[in-house]
Structure 1
Amino acid sequence: MTGNEFRFFLSCDISVPVTFRVERLEGNLPLPNPKSPDLETNAPTENRTKELFVECALYIDGAPFGLPMRTRLESSGPSYCWNELITLTTKYRDLTAQSQLTFTVWDLSHGEGLIGGATILLFNNKKQLKTGKQKLRLWAGKEADGTFPTSTPGKVPRHERGELERLEKLVNKYERGQIQRVDWLDRLTFKTMERIKERESLKNGSSHLYLVVDFCSFEHRVVFQESGANFLFPSPIASTNDIVVVWDPEVGKINPSEHKQLKLARSLTRGVIDRDLKPSSNERKSIQRILKYPPTRTLSGDERQLLWKFRFSLMSEKRALTKFLRCVEWSDVQEAKQALELMGKWEMIDVCDALELLSPVFESEEVRAYAVSVLERADDEELQCYLLQLVQALRFERSDKSRLSHFLVQRALRNIELASFLRWYVAVELYDPAYAKRFYCTYEILEENMMKIAAGVNGEEDGFKQWQSLVRQTELTAQLCSITREVRNVRGNTQKKIEKLRQLLSGLLSELTYFDEPIRSPLAPGVLIAGIVPSESSIFKSALHPLRLSFRTANGGTCKIIFKKGDDLRQDQLVVQMVSLMDRLLKLENLDLHLTPYKVLATGQDEGMLEFIPSRSLAQILSENRSIISYLQKFHPDDHGPFGITATCLETFIKSCAGYSVITYILGIGDRHLDNLLLRNDGGLFHVDFGFILGRDPKPFPPPMKLCKEMVEAMGGAERYSSH
């Protein structure tokens, strides 16, 4: 090989198994702990012979690949030498650039004791296969980690390298033929190196252990190259109508020329900024079309360029801010700086648009802080509409004590209802191990700050009493879970279970019938509940046996709540929240569709509460009355009204049917049948049980909305509206 010539093999062309030799262990082994219970009945520590073996495993892209291999036991220490050849089943052509070998040294002299482990990449940063002897530093007491990046790298840190490491590199070059061989000089050199090695080991007295591994060498260097795709082209292509799949490795990657052109077009390199530039008629239409895109739609390169080009003329359009921030290249310091300056001068956006800026798409702390400043303008009622989503947005903050977390806590301190819902929303997320620490931090901040609230001059409770009233909600749900378990264990029909429920409330759990102090209802924190009425409480005939509990309130009334254990209500909670939000927005436009956004609160991963609305299912109504009109005539008869019922009742039924038909279509709610369509006595229809949403349905080819013929007949039949 000449000086300018580089010969190499491609890894994808090498069809031999991965092979290496585990040679020896260098360094002083740590003495076992004499106080260890494993050593109390054994021989003295100094007389015990260690029995070591090395476990080797291949990891590809951070995942184990194939079965681990083990060397034989070696007990002829302290210089433990295996010199054992290991051959894996994986071939070099199957490796990726992030392939790693893990080595873990175990001691079997007193059980399976861990000595240490190390990991080494098979390819270096130049994508060349590592060959020759490799000296790996073991991480004491840690098993080798094969994830990428690894926590147990075997590479000796630069500050720990000495003369010995330099000489070992030269030996590797010598063995690869990169250093000319001179026999008489080589013998002298290796003798000198042995003396240096002994001197270095005595001088350093290093506490580290090193494992020496010898990788397989080839005639030339081996450069990493992925195996090409197996193209199976039809022959000839022109003679067939079949689609040919062509593998393109550059799909999805950034085109450097397009990226450069984009930067030039944005005037960052030329410094020319036209602040008075106005879009043409066609460009204005394109911009308006872009502004109507939903937040989930990704902007194309041309669309991003169009918004950036006319950014100054769009500053008075508040709807354009979120789209403009999506087209910013945040990795470019100059562009990000200019975007933040424009954001501060932009027309203030609406509260609902601020939610988009708290999504995971926007990582800039300045943008997220701006979104919080917009939320500060919202009143408590509007904030409660979006509170569930704001709590979820805490997942995407950079720190546990973020500005969003501080904002939510401060608003909760001013409104006990917000505080109750915030506490429950955060408490449910504590079951998620990935974000439990973050939500627990918010929970602690809420508790700590609420304790500091002093009693109000108008007789308001101090913070301690308010927090205790919220904590008692959790205690109540725990007792209801216990009751549910007791009831389920009762053998027999539903009536026997109801008797057991009332027996528990009247006897063993009689403290639930009269609370020592009123508790804020978890579903409606503004309502104080004083106890359960056993005679009015019951159980639904269902597989999960949900409880229907009647609570007496502090003002002498009653409220009924359904408690379910064994069902995740978080999805129902989300859908009902969407219904409530739509109902609020429609009423702001003077359109009341008589919807029934009953309250739902998940108090755990598999438990929660629902507001009980007096109603009956359409299946039950039709089986007993044969028609919806006959049922409504019992409650709102009117001889002069349409179909013998009052006009108000019919209008309520028609509007609620229309409202829920559109809502279920928009949300893609499935599994609609007559058992989960309920009807109130005043004619209001509503849906329950939202286990299938966003287009999912247990039945194939479901209709886009549930509008059965009995519902149409109750409106007067299809003929009544055919001429309109």
Structure 2
Amino acid sequence: MTGNEFRFFLSCDINLPVTFRIERLEGNLPFPKSPNSESNGSAEDGTAELYVECALHIDGAPFGLPTRTRLESMGPSYCWNELITLTAKYRDLTAQSQLTFTVWDLSHGEGLIGGATIILFNNKKQLKTGKQKLRLWAGKEADGTFPTSTPGKVPRHERGELERLEKLVNKYERGQIQRVDWLDRLTFKTMEKIKERESLKNGSSHLYLVVDFCSFEHRVVFQESGANFVLPSPIASTNDIVIVWDPEVGKINPSEHKQLKLARSLTRGVIDRDLKPSSNERKSIQRILKYPPTRTLSGDDRQLLWKFRFSLMSEKRALTKFLRCVEWSDVQEAKQGLELMGKWETIDVCDALELLSPVFESEEVRAYAVSVLERADDEELQCYLLQLVQALRFERSDKSRLSQFLVQRALSNIELASFLRWYVAVELYDPAYAKRFYCTYEILEENMMKMGAGANGEEDGFKRWQSLVRQTELTAQLCSITRDVRNVRGNTQKKIEKLRQLLSGLLSELTYFDEPIRSPLTPGVLITGIVPSESSIFKSALHPLRLTFKTANGGTSKIIFKKGDDIRQDQLVVQMVSLMDRLLKLENLDLHLTPYKVLATGQDEGMLEFIPSHSLAQILSEHRSIISYLQNFHPDDNGPFGITATCLETFIKSCAGYSVITYILGIGDRHLDNLLLRNDGSLFHVDFGFILGRDPKPFPPPMKLCKEMVEAMGGAESQYYTRFKSYCCEAYNILRKSSNLILNLFYLMAGSNIPDIASDPEKGILKLQEKFRLDLDDEACIHFFQDLINESVSALFPQMVETIHRWAQYWR
């Protein structure tokens, strides 16, 4: 028996809806003659309008509402091939859960064809998967009581050769029978002949419904929620192998666990205080401390850290690793772990974020993390605010220490208050955590309304809260305008005219606000109205609005408002660009990045800061090269390529910065329309629909560096291109130093609904981790990154190599 026999999931752990696919009906329908069949014609021509009604029954009682498929009238082989997702989840099921299927014919009134019932778990308590062929009981509605009177499973004594073969095919499709291509082809060909022979011999005495149940990576075994054991199958008197599902299999060996308990005995505490690691043990500990936050500690790693826990208390980096090796289910060990945590050298803010991840459930540990966060200033806290709001998902209480901390800091900073309110408001759409986020929203509202006027003349809490509420009212009006503009028939110019007409007429109150509103993108700025003549619409499917707002200080603020697009992923990427820009500047490296502001105001709406710029596609179309475009704004006959040295330096630095960042974040779908260039030479990226290595185009190059960018630096042999590579390597090594911070922030986003993270959080974060090459030192990383650049650039220029050809195609 292979090790795979012992890999399984417990049904109580699967928080997914019950899903299956209703495929087709097999056999010939009996068409009853009806009095009005002549006028109807459906019975005469052999077609019918069929649908399948399916319902879940738990312990003989209906659970949830029945679900119907669409009508299918393409006879005689009726094929729905429709995916059905029930409201019930696998963890809700019991061992006696059944699905009922009843086929109805609407072409003869509400004619009943037949029904069948199938129990979801077999006699070994395993969830049934793959295709199931259910025999319908003609003229009977499916019975959901237990035991059922309409079992879909064909009795053993009635099974023919065809049923036996179909059962084997089901096992083959689930991977339980080895595939041998040449033999499989012969087998299936023979099976088709048997099927034809059986069909002719038996006629059409029975109807069958084929249903395909969802498959999992491993078998799913029934276990009630909260139970700590699974009843084994009754041992038969035959020689069959009996599989006993033991939940302990795959976990730590019981004898090893006992040995660890003895080795970690609390009575050894006095001895452990004086223990010092040897040279080899010290090297092993340093290796463990360099592990990324996503890596699980092995048994030996945990044992080593626990053994030398007292000598590690002065090493602040070791605290998060030590807390991972504490056996929190052991009351005494947990108590000692918390005592040591209180005496440990205080950790940095970036490491405290790790303690708010779902790995740490202890409320004391999470409260300690919050106490460390209290040392961060408002600017640093705002860098992590998006992730801290997501961390509320992992709190055990609706009124947690983290929630109270965020609200308290927001009360003293209107920008934090505005962003906290928006981040929380957007998460209210998630039904699983709506209550928790709503509680934080209520606490923020209640505390802000109680605030008095500030000592420096600031408005009181009520007025400040109302100014934030008016932001929501403004976005609701912008949504309405977007809908009205989309409904206008005609080209983009007609839609622009409609927009300006609305702002000047029916919605003229938006031209001059009764009271100034805090800008959602920059809450420190008060906006007083929209300028209709300077507002426009982008030419795209969603018709985003480009609006110019007047500000209280006499200036203007330009924003883009999008409705119909989830921009939460863009919001995350731009936040990371802003954070990385901050990290680089702290090391005195300014790469002239453009972290424009993005704010999601709903699941499918949001605002973006408008940065005056042109896409590389437009620039190359009108000016043929980047350099000739920049010569229009920064000409210098004595400068490199006829432009000022400052402009060229800005271009080189911004190219380097975004090349490194897009590589680390695995940003895909790069083309000349989403690379923008400002008049001062700053290049920046927009539109982040694909991140963490996902890309809709095949064969993406390692780095998103297009040929036109290299040509603007004088080509791959120029001194300016060498400077570009130098900036890339320097930026890469600086950001590698903060890899733990970046990984922790993404780890906190694991529970969010951001598409490229939600699809597979673990895989996405591992991809991000790989990009940092934590196995290399700084010098080795310089060589690695230079090779990466050279590899990507060589692919941009014509060479007779297939891979290079593919990468060149990527940019076309």
User: Shift in Å at residue 641 of structure 1?
Assistant: 1.1
Distance, in Å, in 2 between the alignment partners of 1:493 and 1:187 is 56
Check 1:621–1:316 CA distance in 2 against 1; reply closer, same or farther (3 A cut). same
Check 1:559–1:239 CA distance in 2 against 1; reply closer, same or farther (3 A cut). farther
User: Shift in Å at residue 3 of structure 1?
Assistant: 38
User: Shift in Å at residue 273 of structure 1?
Assistant: 3.4
Deviations 1:348-373 (A, max 9, x none): 11111111111111000000000010
Is the 2:230–2:246 Cα contact (8 Å) retained in structure 1?
A: no
SS of 2:251 mapped into structure 1: coil
Check 1:237–1:645 CA distance in 2 against 1; reply closer, same or farther (3 A cut). farther
Matches within 5 A, 1:569-588: 569-588=567-586
Distance, in Å, in 2 between the alignment partners of 1:277 and 1:236 is 52
Check 1:334–1:476 CA distance in 2 against 1; reply closer, same or farther (3 A cut). same
Distance, in Å, in 1 between the alignment partners of 2:16 and 2:411 is 68
Query: What residue is the counterpart of 2:747 in the other structure?
Result: none
User: Shift in Å at residue 438 of structure 1?
Assistant: 1.0
User: Shift in Å at residue 268 of structure 1?
Assistant: 3.4
User: Shift in Å at residue 682 of structure 1?
Assistant: 0.6
Is the 1:118–1:153 Cα contact (8 Å) retained in structure 2?
A: yes
Given the alignment, which residue of 480, 490, 498 partners 1:500? 498
User: Shift in Å at residue 267 of structure 1?
Assistant: 2.7
User: Shift in Å at residue 280 of structure 1?
Assistant: 1.9
Query: What residue is the counterpart of 1:153 in the other structure?
Result: 151
Is the 1:229–1:247 Cα contact (8 Å) retained in structure 2?
A: no
Matches within 5 A, 1:685-700: 685-700=683-698
Distance, in Å, in 2 between the alignment partners of 1:447 and 1:21 is 46
Check 1:209–1:320 CA distance in 2 against 1; reply closer, same or farther (3 A cut). farther
User: Shift in Å at residue 298 of structure 1?
Assistant: 1.2
Worse-matched range after superposition: 88-97 or 575-584 = 88-97
Distance, in Å, in 2 between the alignment partners of 1:76 and 1:642 is 71
Is 2:40 aligned against 1:42?
yes
Query: What residue is the counterpart of 2:266 in the other structure?
Result: 268
Distance, in Å, in 2 between the alignment partners of 1:85 and 1:667 is 34
Check 1:173–1:251 CA distance in 2 against 1; reply closer, same or farther (3 A cut). closer
User: Shift in Å at residue 692 of structure 1?
Assistant: 0.3
Is the 1:267–1:273 Cα contact (8 Å) retained in structure 2?
A: no
Distance, in Å, in 1 between the alignment partners of 2:380 and 2:497 is 43
Query: What residue is the counterpart of 1:207 in the other structure?
Result: 205
Given the alignment, which residue of 634, 651, 654 partners 2:649? 651
User: Shift in Å at residue 458 of structure 1?
Assistant: 2.4
Check 1:208–1:400 CA distance in 2 against 1; reply closer, same or farther (3 A cut). farther
SS of 2:270 mapped into structure 1: coil
Query: What residue is the counterpart of 2:806 in the other structure?
Result: 720
Worse-matched range after superposition: 200-209 or 494-503 = 200-209
Is the 1:264–1:270 Cα contact (8 Å) retained in structure 2?
A: no
User: Shift in Å at residue 253 of structure 1?
Assistant: 2.7
Check 1:188–1:588 CA distance in 2 against 1; reply closer, same or farther (3 A cut). closer
Unaligned runs of 5+ in 2: 716-804
Query: What residue is the counterpart of 2:551 in the other structure?
Result: 553
Worse-matched range after superposition: 183-192 or 443-452 = 183-192
Is the 1:57–1:69 Cα contact (8 Å) retained in structure 2?
A: yes
Deviations 1:252-279 (A, max 9, x none): 2331111112112213365653212222
Is the 1:412–1:419 Cα contact (8 Å) retained in structure 2?
A: yes
Deviations 1:320-366 (A, max 9, x none): 11111111111111111111011001111111111111111100000
Is the 2:615–2:675 Cα contact (8 Å) retained in structure 1?
A: yes
Distance, in Å, in 2 between the alignment partners of 1:441 and 1:624 is 54
Worse-matched range after superposition: 170-179 or 231-240 = 170-179
User: Shift in Å at residue 374 of structure 1?
Assistant: 0.5
Worse-matched range after superposition: 513-522 or 328-337 = 328-337
Is the 1:484–1:547 Cα contact (8 Å) retained in structure 2?
A: yes
Query: What residue is the counterpart of 1:7 in the other structure?
Result: 7
Worse-matched range after superposition: 522-531 or 313-322 = 313-322
Worse-matched range after superposition: 147-156 or 172-181 = 172-181
Check 1:152–1:552 CA distance in 2 against 1; reply closer, same or farther (3 A cut). farther
Worse-matched range after superposition: 239-248 or 62-71 = 239-248
Given the alignment, which residue of 292, 295, 299 partners 1:294? 292
Check 1:150–1:480 CA distance in 2 against 1; reply closer, same or farther (3 A cut). farther
Is the 2:232–2:245 Cα contact (8 Å) retained in structure 1?
A: no
Is the 2:8–2:218 Cα contact (8 Å) retained in structure 1?
A: yes
Matches within 5 A, 1:439-588: 439-588=437-586
Distance, in Å, in 2 between the alignment partners of 1:431 and 1:54 is 32
Distance, in Å, in 2 between the alignment partners of 1:85 and 1:721 is 38
SS of 1:531 mapped into structure 2: strand
Check 1:496–1:313 CA distance in 2 against 1; reply closer, same or farther (3 A cut). same
Query: What residue is the counterpart of 2:399 in the other structure?
Result: 401
Is the 2:46–2:76 Cα contact (8 Å) retained in structure 1?
A: no
User: Shift in Å at residue 312 of structure 1?
Assistant: 1.2
Worse-matched range after superposition: 107-116 or 708-717 = 107-116
Check 1:697–1:63 CA distance in 2 against 1; reply closer, same or farther (3 A cut). farther
Worse-matched range after superposition: 92-101 or 116-125 = 116-125
Is the 1:540–1:548 Cα contact (8 Å) retained in structure 2?
A: yes
Check 1:515–1:709 CA distance in 2 against 1; reply closer, same or farther (3 A cut). same
Is the 2:33–2:43 Cα contact (8 Å) retained in structure 1?
A: no
User: Shift in Å at residue 558 of structure 1?
Assistant: 0.3
User: Shift in Å at residue 688 of structure 1?
Assistant: 0.3
Deviations 1:486-540 (A, max 9, x none): 1101111111111111011010101101001110000000000000001111111
Is the 2:50–2:105 Cα contact (8 Å) retained in structure 1?
A: yes
User: Shift in Å at residue 715 of structure 1?
Assistant: 1.0
Distance, in Å, in 2 between the alignment partners of 1:671 and 1:374 is 39
User: Shift in Å at residue 316 of structure 1?
Assistant: 1.1
Check 1:207–1:594 CA distance in 2 against 1; reply closer, same or farther (3 A cut). same
Distance, in Å, in 2 between the alignment partners of 1:22 and 1:398 is 40
Check 1:466–1:409 CA distance in 2 against 1; reply closer, same or farther (3 A cut). same
TM-score, scaled relative to structure 2: 0.62
Worse-matched range after superposition: 564-573 or 57-66 = 57-66
Deviations 1:3-45 (A, max 9, x none): 99999999999999999999999999999xx999999999999
Check 1:294–1:171 CA distance in 2 against 1; reply closer, same or farther (3 A cut). closer
Check 1:470–1:73 CA distance in 2 against 1; reply closer, same or farther (3 A cut). closer
Query: What residue is the counterpart of 1:25 in the other structure?
Result: 25
Is the 2:223–2:229 Cα contact (8 Å) retained in structure 1?
A: no
Worse-matched range after superposition: 262-271 or 602-611 = 262-271
Is the 1:234–1:240 Cα contact (8 Å) retained in structure 2?
A: no
Is the 2:415–2:522 Cα contact (8 Å) retained in structure 1?
A: yes
Distance, in Å, in 2 between the alignment partners of 1:83 and 1:706 is 41
Worse-matched range after superposition: 306-315 or 51-60 = 51-60
Worse-matched range after superposition: 346-355 or 139-148 = 139-148
Check 1:291–1:694 CA distance in 2 against 1; reply closer, same or farther (3 A cut). same
Worse-matched range after superposition: 163-172 or 211-220 = 163-172
Aligned residue-pair number:
721
Distance, in Å, in 2 between the alignment partners of 1:571 and 1:651 is 30
Check 1:272–1:209 CA distance in 2 against 1; reply closer, same or farther (3 A cut). farther
Check 1:654–1:220 CA distance in 2 against 1; reply closer, same or farther (3 A cut). closer
Deviations 1:81-105 (A, max 9, x none): 9999999999999999676899999
Distance, in Å, in 2 between the alignment partners of 1:151 and 1:661 is 66
Distance, in Å, in 2 between the alignment partners of 1:592 and 1:42 is 78
Distance, in Å, in 2 between the alignment partners of 1:255 and 1:379 is 47
Is the 1:231–1:246 Cα contact (8 Å) retained in structure 2?
A: no
Worse-matched range after superposition: 285-294 or 260-269 = 260-269
Worse-matched range after superposition: 219-228 or 603-612 = 219-228
SS of 1:271 mapped into structure 2: helix
Check 1:106–1:344 CA distance in 2 against 1; reply closer, same or farther (3 A cut). farther
Is the 1:233–1:244 Cα contact (8 Å) retained in structure 2?
A: no
User: Shift in Å at residue 294 of structure 1?
Assistant: 1.4
Worse-matched range after superposition: 162-171 or 436-445 = 162-171
Deviations 1:651-691 (A, max 9, x none): 11111111111111110100011100001111111100000
Deviations 1:439-483 (A, max 9, x none): 111111111111111112322100111011000000000000000
Distance, in Å, in 2 between the alignment partners of 1:216 and 1:637 is 65
User: Shift in Å at residue 192 of structure 1?
Assistant: 66
Check 1:258–1:13 CA distance in 2 against 1; reply closer, same or farther (3 A cut). closer
Distance, in Å, in 1 between the alignment partners of 2:508 and 2:637 is 50
When you count helix as a share of all residues, which structure comes out higher? 2
Check 1:594–1:721 CA distance in 2 against 1; reply closer, same or farther (3 A cut). farther
Is the 1:638–1:644 Cα contact (8 Å) retained in structure 2?
A: yes
User: Shift in Å at residue 65 of structure 1?
Assistant: 12
Deviations 1:590-636 (A, max 9, x none): 11111110000000000000000111101111111111111111111
SS of 1:460 mapped into structure 2: coil
Distance, in Å, in 2 between the alignment partners of 1:504 and 1:155 is 65
TM-score, scaled relative to structure 1: 0.69
